[in-house]
Structure 1
């Protein structure tokens, strides 16, 4: 197989719908739509939103509703979930919701599925499903969704209408080798959360490729990974913008979570030696810098992973700076194509 370079693969976006300090969820949603519209203009392939609950910094808890809002404000970019946390939902409800979305926006909706609840266990119980049973049932729930979407299910006593007979791509999302094995076994595309769980990344994608079984959904393995990118016109400005991300990650490590904070000139006093080491380990696949630095870092990363698609998330406080980061990132690819 020929080597796939940065210029050869699609770029996509994972939006965690960040609530920034001093703003509310409504502001977040409007900022997300503006980013999606600009991403569409720039040629990004997909725009995914992630389900999280009980998090002061994340506004995408009603993920399917937000997907509809973004899809309704764009025209060509694929919109989907990165992902829907299946333990929180009955598969039939998910099939009906995404069947509705796919009916409204034909050929543009993706369904990425995760096995975690996207929250703490107390909140998971408040979502009214048994956490342990649901996690253990994840493979069966995925197959139940496939059944609901199939045209052959029309003779069943339980049907997803709308949803039945629609082409809604299902992705398996994960941060471990378990998810890789399931995606390979079912012959589905695989998206790895390397933006926050780097430890098993390389092993998982290799295992997926080795054990992939062709299916009616996919003939060859297809790997997408998500990474953090904070790009700006200069390395210094990118490093400054990244301090918002570092503050957020420090809050995750310490349990003191807050809305996304404005950037600061220095992280001194905001994290200790332990917190800094933990953040940098967790955020191993984070690329910060100007176009030249990002280009070099991504070239090295792609050379060693041979991804089929790259998904990017960017925790940046200022919405215009976040849009510009994606503009700089896309210019890396466009420049590579022109130079190729």
Structure 2
């Protein structure tokens, strides 16, 4: 059985508020737990008018406090924005508050525009180039304390919070394989290197104390509804958002529209269609068929779904329909 998980950005909708977005994330996590999802991850983005999860570790705690069994974590923390010690302390604290339920997914992108990245990182080039060393340092800070260790994370030391490497290119595939860490590929918005990155990761994988064999998670955008027409209608919110991103217009998450005609240029449509080529949008039957095909293509161990839906009730309904699809696919392969 391939477990399903959810990636949430705490979208701030047009006419909505940050407080409502964070409450929506909390309710989404509760629904994910009730529907048997394995993980609920939140993503670090900065300076985005439509995303409320910038203080990711705080939102993780907000969500984890409302749930009991689903794993909660980051998809991901953009490590070059932070010192490894600070992240070790934050996630060591989360692990103490919610034992056995915290994941730490790490990325090396800034998660924002250049100017905001400079405000976060101060030295952008050095921060990005230090990513492999920072991962190794963070891994050590979360592990058992050694006899000659000079810097100790309190909390954090010996919490052994599971670390994932996230990526949309070959770089993190190489690094995850070399370090023997689980690897999550961002195929929900960057499809180009999906199969080659997974091949590199699996070929270069070296067993580690954490993992004895490669373990892959792949991402999709997902909208499920009772009919294909309804799902496609709901998905226009994400299409509008991606088209706006293309023209560097980062606004709040828009409501769906009956037609995208006139809302994007031909070039923007090509860009959006390509970026979300692996999106799973449709009725329950369509969703099951598309997921089965994607899992067959990638041979992934886990699937993580981002559900960009404007209306909260429709989003919760989509969570339920994807949960049903997972159970149906599990029954078919058992």
Report if TM-score (shorter chain) is over 0.5.
yes
Aligned to 2:272: 279
Q: Secondary structure at the match of 1:127?
A: helix
Partner of 2:225: 232
Q: Secondary structure at the residue paired with 2:145? A: helix
SS in 1 for 2:303: strand
Q: Is the 8 A contact 1:85 1:113 kept in 2?
A: yes
**Structure 1 position 157, deviation (Å):** 2.3
| Deviation readout 1:162-209 (Å, 9 max, x if unpaired) | 110112000000000011000000000000000111111110001100
- TM-superposed CA distance for 1:269, in Å, is 0.8
Contact 1:121 1:131 in 2 (8 A): no
Superposition pairs of residues 240-255 of structure 1, within 5 angstroms: 240-255=233-248
**1:273 and 1:199 mapped to 2: Cα distance?**
20
Moved over 6 A (4+): none
1:274 deviates by: 1.1
Q: Which position in structure 2 is the counterpart of 1:328?
A: 321
Q: Distance in 2 between matches of 1:65 and 1:95?
A: 14
Aligned equivalent of 2:177: 184
1:339 CA displacement? 4.3
Residue 89 of structure 1 contacts residue 129 of structure 1 at CA under 8 Å; is this kept in 2?
no
What TM-score, normalized to structure 1?
A: 0.96
Distance 1:339 1:131 in 2: 48
What is the TM-score with the length of structure 2 in the denominator? 0.98
Q: Which residue of 1 aligns with 2:30?
A: 37
Deviation at 1:150, TM superposition (A): 1.8
For structure 1, which segment, 183-192 or 266-275, has the greater mean C-alpha deviation from structure 2 after superposition? 266-275
Distance 1:312 1:289 in 2: 14
2:258 alignment partner, one of 251, 257, 265: 265
CA deviation profile, 1:85-114 (whole Å, cap 9, x unmatched): 011000000000000000110000000000
Instruction: State how far apart, in whole Å, the 1-side matches of 2:267 and 2:147 are.
Output: 56
User: Over residues 240-272 of structure 1, what are the superposed CA-to-partner deviations in whole Å (9 max), with x where a residue is unaligned?
Assistant: 101111100101111122111111111111012
Q: Could you tell me whether the CA contact under 8 Å between 1:87 and 1:129 is conserved in 2?
A: no
Aligned: 1:126 with 2:99? no
Deviation of 1:130 (Å): 1.1
Q: SS of the counterpart of 2:6?
A: strand
1 CA distance for matches of 2:294 and 2:60? Answer: 30
1:27 equivalent among 20, 27, 47: 20
Does the 8 A contact of 2:63 with 2:72 survive in 1? Answer: yes
RMSD of aligned C-alpha atoms? 1.0
Distance in 2, matches of 1:134 and 1:227, equals 29
Q: In the alignment, is residue 17 of structure 1 matched against residue 23 of structure 2?
A: no
Question: Which sections of structure 2, spanning at least 5 residues, go unmatched?
Answer: none
Following the alignment from structure 1 to structure 2, what is the Cα–Cα distance between the partners of residues 239 and 208? 34
Q: Is the 8 A contact 1:95 1:160 kept in 2?
A: yes
Q: Which residue of 1 aligns with 2:154?
A: 161
Q: 2:193 aligns with which of 200, 209, 215?
A: 200
Deviations 1:53-106 (A, max 9, x none): 001111110000000110111111000000000110000000000000001100
Is the CA contact (8 Å cut-off) linking 1:49 and 1:82 kept in structure 2?
yes
Give the match for residue 131 of structure 2: 138
Q: Which residue of 2 aligns with 1:97?
A: 90
SS of equivalent residue, structure 2 residue 161 = coil
Task: Identify the match of residue 45 of structure 2 among 52, 59, 66.
Answer: 52
Post-superposition shift, 1:330?
Answer: 1.2
Are the structure 2 counterparts of residues 236 and 154 from structure 1 closer, same or farther at C-alpha, using a change threshold of 3 Å? farther
- Distance across 2 between alignment mates of 1:93 and 1:152: 17
> Using the alignment, how far apart are the partners of 2:115 and 2:330 within structure 1?
49
Number of residue pairs matched? 333
User: Corresponding residue for 2:306?
Assistant: 313
Change (3 A) 1:338 1:150: closer
